[in-house]
Amino acid sequence: MDAQVVISDFEASHHAEVYSLAKKAWYHAYSDFLDEGTLNTRLNCWYSRESHEGMAWNVKNRGYFFKVLHDANRRLIGFISGNTRTGVLDRLYLDPAELGKGYGSRLLELFLGELKANGIAECRACCDRKNRLGLEFYRRKGFRIIEENGEDYALAKAVE
C-alpha cells in the first residue's frame, strides 16, 4: 500500500473526476454483460452533477459516508460510499490500473470501522451476479450471498 495516498470526504467539486473514474471502472467491470447504452444511461443518472451535489450535502450534513482516494499526484484512484446508520455499502470502485494493490480493502476497512463505531452489526452490499471481480472481492472479504434480487446478489458480512 502506497503511504502517499490521501483519503478525504467527497465534495461536489469531485464530481467530474468521480464520474470519469466510475465510467472507467464500470466499462472495465461491466462491459462483458451490460451494453454501452445501458452503461451510459445508468452512469449519467447515478453519477450526475445533481446527484453528486445531493450526496455532498448528505456527507456534510447527514453523516453520509463517501470517501475519495487520491494518489500522491492528486489523481483520483478510488472511492467508496455507503450509509453508516443502516450498514449498506452503496459503491466501491477502483481505477482498473490500480487493482490488486490493497486499496479496495483499505476503503472497505474504513467503512467497516465506521459501522463498528456506530454499533452496526452487519454490513450489506449488492453486486451484479455477473460481476466476477466484485463477487470474488466480497467473497474474500467474508461476505456471503443472502438473497437473489433480479440481476443482483445481496451480500452480507458481520461487523467484527
Ligand X SMILES: CC(C)(COP(=O)(O)OP(=O)(O)OC[C@H]1O[C@@H](n2cnc3c(N)ncnc32)[C@H](O)[C@@H]1OP(=O)(O)O)[C@@H](O)C(=O)NCCC(=O)NCCS
Q: Which residues bind ligand X (CB under 6 A)?
A: 25, 29, 92-94, 99-105, 127, 131, 133-134, 136-137, 140
C-alpha cell at 5: 495516498
The distance of closest approach from Cβ of residue 117 to ligand X in the complex, given in angstroms and rounded to an integer, is 21
The distance of closest approach from Cβ of residue 93 to ligand X in the complex, given in angstroms and rounded to an integer, is 4
Which residue's CB is nearer to ligand X, number 57 or number 102?
102
Which residue's CB is nearer to ligand X, number 31 or number 57?
31
The distance of closest approach from Cβ of residue 1 to ligand X in the complex, given in angstroms and rounded to an integer, is 9
Q: Which position's Cβ is nearest ligand X?
A: 104
Q: Are 64 and 58 in contact (CB under 8 A)?
A: yes
Please spell the DSSP secondary structure of the chain, one letter per residue: --TT-EEEE--GGGHHHHHHHHHHHHHHHHTTTS-HHHHHHHHHHHT-HHHHHHHHHHHHHH--EEEEEE-TTS-EEEEEEEETTTTEEEEEEE-GGGTTSSHHHHHHHHHHHHHHHTT--EEEEEEETT-HHHHHHHHHTT-EEEEEETTEEEEEEE--
Which residue's CB is nearer to ligand X, number 49 or number 140?
140
Which residue's CB is nearer to ligand X, number 101 or number 116?
101
Which residue's CB is nearer to ligand X, number 44 or number 105?
105
The distance of closest approach from Cβ of residue 119 to ligand X in the complex, given in angstroms and rounded to an integer, is 25
The distance of closest approach from Cβ of residue 116 to ligand X in the complex, given in angstroms and rounded to an integer, is 18
